[in-house]
Amino acid sequence: MTDMTRGRIAIAHDYLTQKGGAERVVLALHRMWPDAPIYTTFYDPEGTFPEFKDAHIITSPLNRVGLLRKDPRRALPLLPLTSSLMHVKEPIAVVSTSGWAHGFRYVGATLVYCHTPARWVYLLDDYLGEGGRNSIKGRIARVLRPGLRRWDRAAVRRRSRYVANSTVVKERIEDVYGLDGVDLVFPPHSVSTEGPQEPIPGAERLAEDGFLLSVARLMPYKHVDVAIEAAARAGRPLVVIGKGPEEARLRAMAGEDVVFGQDLSDAQLRWAYAHATALIAASHEDFGITPLEASTWGVPTVALRAGGYLDTIVEGVNGVFVDAPTVDAVAEGVERLLAHDWDRAAMQAHAERFSETQFGRRIRALVAELPAGPTHRGRQ
């Protein structure tokens, strides 16, 4: 951080309890401004990236409750008030959010990097997954939704400027929040091909002939079950990287050619990409970052033709699209991918467009354009 920005910039994020694309964005912001405090409702050092251990992280009082820290979704009824009480005093805040951090209490200007408007308000069925509508969590979420929606829209009115992470999210923000001219800045991929590699326990036996790969949280809408069944139909082993509430169900349905890995080091993630034949990405993503990580290794992707993958995949260059998240479609996509001759250099050139350097340049430029104080948004 330069002397001009020291003490002037804060970073904010919903919660740092996982290892995902949103957390990698916060890491990129932390590298840009290493002295900036990071405000977040929950911080679980064991659940997220170890690089956060050298950051100054300010959490909510709820962070002392271990059960909530391990799974912040359990705190849903408490999060509006908790978020509203997070007081960010720096004159500029760069906010990474999927629904909570833009509701913190800011005294200065805000650049909100939005991964998606809140799923539990605007995409509730997607958030709950198949069968979740009638679950206890689903019933509670539906009761809370009107109040959450009012809270969320009030938070939007108090923010200075919104930035979307993909074309589909830009359209969603403009639609549900009634905002015009939302900026678009693609998030960076940051899994370097340089550095040590370390095998994932249990997957070494699959490495010689290559394996299919799934890198996704084990949530219903990620369709990891489809990847498991499609890999079996294609007669290919699969390595599943991720954790989440679907883990027990997915392990129960997986055969011996499926290996699960979670809480991986970067060295283990590098090993996984280095030995993968293809990535399966069958979910509707707000931004499809994993195909870019795979592309840096020359690994093509079978992806759902939707959401953020429309920004990150060029068909025939770094992947093939399928039109539905079904076993039949994905298995057929795997066969098409394996029959294609892929150009590693072209994949890597495509991924370079989404580098951390490019991301940092755009974010710094937008921060420089912020007004000198908080700005209230209009049309709601």
SS (H, E, C) 226-271: HHHHHHHHHCCCEEEECCCCCHHHHHHHCCCCEEEECCCCHHHHHH
Query: What's domain 204-352's architecture?
Result: 3-Layer(aba) Sandwich (3.40)
CA-to-CA dists, residue 146 to 237, 306, 343, angstroms: 45, 28, 50
Contacts of 85 (CB under 8 A, 6+ apart): 60, 105
- Written as tens digits, the pLDDT of the chain (380 aa) is 444 566 799 999 999 999 888 999 999 999 999 999 999 999 999 999 999 999 999 999 999 998 999 888 888 889 999 999 999 999 999 999 999 999 999 999 999 999 999 877 887 665 555 555 566 766 777 788 888 999 999 999 999 999 999 999 999 999 999 999 899 999 998 777 889 999 999 999 999 899 999 999 898 889 999 999 999 999 999 999 998 899 999 999 999 999 999 988 889 999 999 999 999 999 988 888 899 999 999 999 999 999 999 999 999 999 999 999 999 999 999 999 999 999 999 999 999 989 999 999 999 999 999 987 665 554 43
The full set of domain ranges for the chain reads 9-188+356-368, 204-352
Domains 9-188+356-368 and 204-352 share a fold: yes
* Beta-sheet strands, E only, within 60-182: 87-88, 92-97, 105-106, 109-114, 161-164
> Homologous superfamily of 9-188+356-368 in CATH?
Glycogen Phosphorylase B; (3.40.50.2000)
Work out the end-to-end distance of the chain between its first and last CA atoms, rounded to an integer number of angstroms.
Answer: 36
User: Within its chain, how far is the Cα of 378 from the centroid?
Assistant: 28
CB 122 within 8 A of CB 57: no
